[in-house]
Amino acid sequence: MREIVCTLHRELVRNNLVAWTAGNISGRVPGEELFVIKPSGISYDDLTPESMVVCDLDGTLVEGSLAPSSDTAAHAYIYRHMPEVNGVVHTHSTYASAWAARGEPIPCVLTAMADEFGGEIPVGPFALIGNDDIGQGVVATLRGRRSPAVLMRNHGVFTVGDSPKAAVKAAVMCEDVARTVHISRQLGEPLPIPQDDVDRLYDRYQNVYGQRSNR
């Protein structure tokens, strides 16, 4: 899991989702009450599997010589309260964070949004960094929704997935649709997709699209 989490951080840089040392990925350790997360304030260029830290589900460091991410308590809360989640990502990606700064959900006006998010990308509450308040807001906002992404107001993006890779994909897609919908609104009011069509698109993408053995 250290290797997986370390390698996936390169995707945040490659997709322009992070600046400097901001942002983080974590992955639940299969069969254990533990997760691996990026250390705090370390350059992406300097990340190695050995520099990844291991925490328990209370966010307490149990293995590693570096301090864990400042978002560790939020990740831990998500893992405790969403047992189906095995990966969590946090970014301050530009366009999605702009929507978060407005406190405005991204409306479902693209088939790619219906496919990946099953509707709008919701906004969670404002919360300060350093304890599990952000995690509480993420869980409360995503509970009962199909979206794997939430825009935390005045902050940035949290995404979840059944694997760390799935959570990274959701973060990449969130920024992509945030940018496209923003540009669309400069041209006029985007056209919504009827809910029945959203449901059909989501079902097809989640259950039919692609090579099922590889998803």
- Give the residue numbers marked as catalytic: 115, 209
Round the CA-based radius of gyration of the chain to a whole number and report it: 17
**Which whole-number Å values give the CA distances from 157 to 3, 58, 72, 90, 125, in the listed order?**
23, 22, 15, 6, 12
Dist CA 109 CA 190 (whole Å): 6
Nearest Cα residue to 69 out of 16, 12, 140, 110:
12
Tell me how far apart the terminal alpha carbons of the chain are, to the nearest angstrom.
18
Dist CA 119 CA 113 (whole Å): 7
Burial annotation 87-115 (CB, 10 A radius, 16+ → b, else e): bbbbbbbebbbebbeeeebbbbbbeebbb
Backbone angles phi, psi at 108, to 5 degrees: -85, 90
